[in-house]
């Protein structure tokens, strides 16, 4: 049995892995230096953690970490696609240009804001900034041929941005990596894979290994650091060693028929273009009509989650074993979720709950009530002011978010600020404690389409209640009128 963390207080045993996280050690007799930051970014992880009460994918490492951190159970991203979500993260702002709702937004607009980005702020204030794996849209931070050449995606932000050594020849190949260096063939490669081999057969084990080696080097230096570690899974393809697929062999629960049905009202449904266009499907199999294939894909997604979870555990264990956890803030964040057949969608790229709600966990030294979750509605743009606050750095005035220090001190603090999300063609969404409104607007402010959901009575979003609750629609539209509309259709 391989021990990731020495048993101290709470044991989590699953799949031959033992993970425990000790309480943060605080030195009371001498002041600590400026805190380090370990920022772990995960790609396409929806809110299906055991710690969130959704044990479809087995996540013992993240569940154990949640017992030492503040888990935000209602965190929402700004845009349901990789590059745009990360653009909002590093800007600390809602998208204001159409390109910032697409994957190229960081590269095409950084000249306007890059010098005040979150990693640049840390770098300008004496921190060493490092990024391994996928932290912006392009792993390694370059945007040229195969993402292996310049120009930089976010110039001036990182002292070093790179991908780990491994059998994949380019950053683009590792992003969509299959086993042992195999690259994706768009439209032909399968949507899932299960090679009977070690964790190192797939990319995330290489990210974890390089992250552990880097932490070992950082442990001996006096300069504070901001270290971003970006994992690739569970992003398509759902590819992981066979042992992680075997872990879920008993099956993932099927969706109820009403949850898996295409909406019967004018909606923001889409045809799952990434899933159907970028990957091949054996004998034309369609998960909408083939229940066995749908079950297989949900299990493969869960396998990818558990594989990634084990790699995150290796990094968190190293932080503790190197005894630098007592002065390190740790963030675990996912850029967006993924629908696994809900609304007959296989993918993200929409404004429904499973595309926008993702896990977010924060731990800082001396945090009160660790392990108690927060149910406050929070957004990705809140991370920038939170980290600036915790590290006593001057936050730019342009930021759209708020510091979450009150919720970190007292998880019962509930500030009533809705979460706003954006998508193409003038689509925006506002999420409150109870309601979500999805609206598509023209440039003149008129609505082309409205969808309203009540999560108290309909958590699966099966009924559009716009006609039933016009007063709620009016209230939420008032909020959206104050928000940018970067992709509104012109008349």
Tokens (6 digits) for 429: 């969404």
Nearest to 379 by CA among 76, 95, 41, 71: 76
Catalytic residue, chosen from 20, 82, 87, 391, is 82
∠ at Cα 329 (21, 317), nearest 5°?
A: 30
Give the distance from CA 352 to its chain's centroid: 15
Q: Is 215 helix (H, G, I), strand (E, B) or coil?
A: helix
Is the four-CA dihedral 260, 265, 268, 272 of positive or negative sign? positive
Q: What share of the chain is helix, strand, coil (3-state, %, to 5)?
A: 30, 20, 50
DSSP labels, 253-317: PPPPTTTTSPPSSS------HHHHHSSB-GGG--TTT-HHHHHHHHHHHHHHHHHHHHHHHHHHH
Q: Do residues 135 and 230 touch, judged by C-beta distance below 8 A? A: yes
Q: Is 247 helix (H, G, I), strand (E, B) or coil?
A: coil
CB within 8 A of 424, min separation 6: which ones?
A: 101, 102, 487
Cα atoms found within 13 Å of the Cα of residue 327, Cβ hemisphere only: 19
Interatomic CA distance for residues 441 and 274, integer angstroms: 25
Q: Is 137 a catalytic residue?
A: yes
Q: Do residues 424 and 144 touch, judged by C-beta distance below 8 A? A: no
CB within 8 A of 26, min separation 6: which ones?
A: 326, 365, 366
DSSP labels, 402-443: ---HHHHH-TT------EEEEETTTEEEEE-SSEEEEEEEBT
Catalytic residue, chosen from 56, 110, 137, 176, is 137
Give the distance from CA 396 to its chain's centroid: 24
Place of tokens 């790699």: 311
Strand partners, 420: 430
Q: Is 235 a catalytic residue?
A: no
What amino acid positions are annotated as catalytic residues? 82, 137
């Amino acid at each position: 049995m391989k021990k990731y963390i020495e048993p101290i207080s709470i044991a989590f045993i699953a799949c031959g892995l033992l993970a425990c996280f000790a309480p943060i050690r605080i030195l009371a007799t001498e002041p600590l230096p400026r805190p380090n930051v370990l920022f772990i970014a995960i790609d396409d992880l929806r809110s299906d953690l055991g710690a969130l009460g959704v044990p479809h994918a087995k996540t013992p490492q993240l569940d154990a970490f949640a017992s030492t951190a503040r888990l935000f159970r209602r965190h929402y991203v700004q845009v349901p696609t990789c590059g745009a979500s990360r653009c909002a993260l590093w800007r600390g702002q809602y998208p204001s240009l159409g390109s910032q709702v697409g994957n190229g937004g960081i590269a095409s607009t950084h000249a306007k804001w890059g010098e005040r980005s979150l990693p640049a702020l840390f770098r300008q204030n004496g921190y060493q900034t490092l990024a391994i794996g996928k932290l912006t849209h392009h792993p390694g931070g370059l945007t040229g041929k195969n993402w292996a050449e310049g120009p930089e995606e976010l110039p001036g932000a990182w002292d070093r941005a790179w991908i780990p050594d491994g059998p994949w020849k380019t950053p683009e190949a590792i992003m969509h990596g299959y086993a042992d260096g195999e690259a994706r063939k768009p439209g032909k490669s399968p949507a899932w894979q299960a090679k009977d081999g070690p964790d190192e057969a797939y990319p995330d084990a290489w990210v974890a290994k390089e992250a552990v080696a880097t932490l070992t080097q950082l442990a001996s230096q006096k300069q504070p650091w901001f270290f971003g570690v970006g994992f690739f899974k569970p992003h398509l393809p759902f590819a992981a060693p066979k042992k992680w697929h075997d872990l879920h062999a008993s099956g993932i629960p099927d969706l109820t028929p009403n949850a898996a049905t295409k909406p019967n009202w004018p909606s923001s449904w889409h045809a799952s273009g990434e899933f159907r266009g970028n990957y091949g499907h054996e004998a034309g199999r369609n998960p909408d009509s083939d229940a066995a294939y749908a079950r297989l894909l949900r299990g493969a997604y869960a396998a990818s989650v558990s594989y990634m979870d084990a790699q995150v555990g290796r990094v968190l264990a190293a932080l503790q074993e190197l005894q630098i956890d007592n002065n390190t803030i740790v963030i675990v964040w996912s850029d967006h979720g993924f629908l696994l057949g809900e609304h007959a969608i296989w993918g993200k790229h929409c404004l429904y709950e499973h595309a926008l709600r993702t896990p977010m966990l924060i731990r800082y030294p001396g945090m009160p009530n660790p392990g108690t979750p927060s149910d406050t509605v929070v957004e990705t743009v809140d991370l920038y002011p939170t980290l600036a606050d915790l590290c006593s750095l001057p936050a730019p005035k342009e930021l759209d978010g708020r510091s979450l220090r009150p919720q970190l001190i007292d998880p019962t603090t509930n500030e009533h600020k809705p979460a706003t999300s954006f998508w193409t063609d003038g689509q925006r969404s506002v999420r409150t404690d109870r309601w979500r409104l999805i609206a598509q607007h023209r440039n003149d402010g008129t609505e082309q389409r409205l969808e309203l959901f009540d999560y108290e009575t309909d958590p699966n979003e099966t009924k559009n209640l716009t006609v039933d609750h016009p007063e709620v629609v009016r209230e939420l539209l008032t909020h959206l009128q104050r928000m940018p509309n970067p992709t509104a259709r012109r008349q």
